[in-house]
Amino acid sequence: MAIVELRFSALPEHVRTARLVAAAVARRAGVAETVLDEVRLAVGEACSRAVGMHQDRVDDDRPVTVTLDDGNGRFSIEVNDGVPQPTLTEEGLAEGAGLVPDLSANGSGLDLIENEMGLAVILGLVDDLDVRAGAEGGVIRMSWPSGAKSAETVG
């Protein structure tokens, strides 16, 4: 198991750095080349969302933390926005899962998608996804198959 952790001030200019680091670690972990674009996009969306959570919060210097882990045959990314928030309920999770906007009604969905598409993109990209919120901050955890052998198969 190898872990890389990146912490950055919640500023938009650092999101690109997070994407580059995540893609580099994913490649090294053996994530398929065809999946790297998805990893880059998903971590970018999660970090953009985390940076957005800090907007309008005066004197908020808590960093965004990105943890990359290639243990147990999976490459996982955890993005913690560091902003304390109410714990997500089952109902809230269900609402989140329905965030992909219905665009069949011309125009009415445009306001929604102009502002909140990040989670929709992540939901569309990532099969193994966990979204949590609590006193320690909001956490988005995602994982993909990697080339690393799991603890069970080694040896």
Partner 1 sequence: MDLSLSTRTEGGRTIVEVGGEIDVYTAPKLREQLVELVNEGQFHLIVDMEAVDFLDSTGLGVLVGGLKRVRAHEGSLQLVCTQERILKIFRITGLTKVFPIHPSVAVAIASSD
Contacts with partner 1, residue ranges (CB under 8 A): 12-13, 15-16, 19, 37, 40-41, 44-45, 48, 51-52, 100-104, 107, 110, 113-115, 117-118, 120-121, 124-125
CB distance 25 to 109 below 8 Å: no
Using CA atoms, how far residue 154 sits from 1, 10, 25, 76, 149, in Å, is 12, 39, 21, 19, 6
Scan for tokens 């992909």, then name that residue.
Answer: 100
CB distance 42 to 122 below 8 Å: yes
* Minimum distance, C-beta of residue 3 to partner 1, in the bound complex (Å): 25
* Minimum distance, C-beta of residue 72 to partner 1, in the bound complex (Å): 28
Nearer residue to partner 1 within complex by CB, 3 or 20: 20
* Minimum distance, C-beta of residue 151 to partner 1, in the bound complex (Å): 33
Instruction: Tell me the C-alpha distance between 93 and 32, whole Å.
Output: 30
Nearer residue to partner 1 within complex by CB, 98 or 134: 98
Nearer residue to partner 1 within complex by CB, 124 or 134: 124
Q: Rounded to the nearest 5 degrees, what angle is found at the Cα of 109, between the Cα atoms of 54 and 40?
A: 50
Nearer residue to partner 1 within complex by CB, 97 or 100: 100
144: exposed, middle or buried (C-beta count within 10 Å: 0-12, 13-18, 19+)?
Answer: buried
* Minimum distance, C-beta of residue 97 to partner 1, in the bound complex (Å): 14
* Minimum distance, C-beta of residue 71 to partner 1, in the bound complex (Å): 27
The full length of the chain comes to 155
Nearer residue to partner 1 within complex by CB, 64 or 148: 64
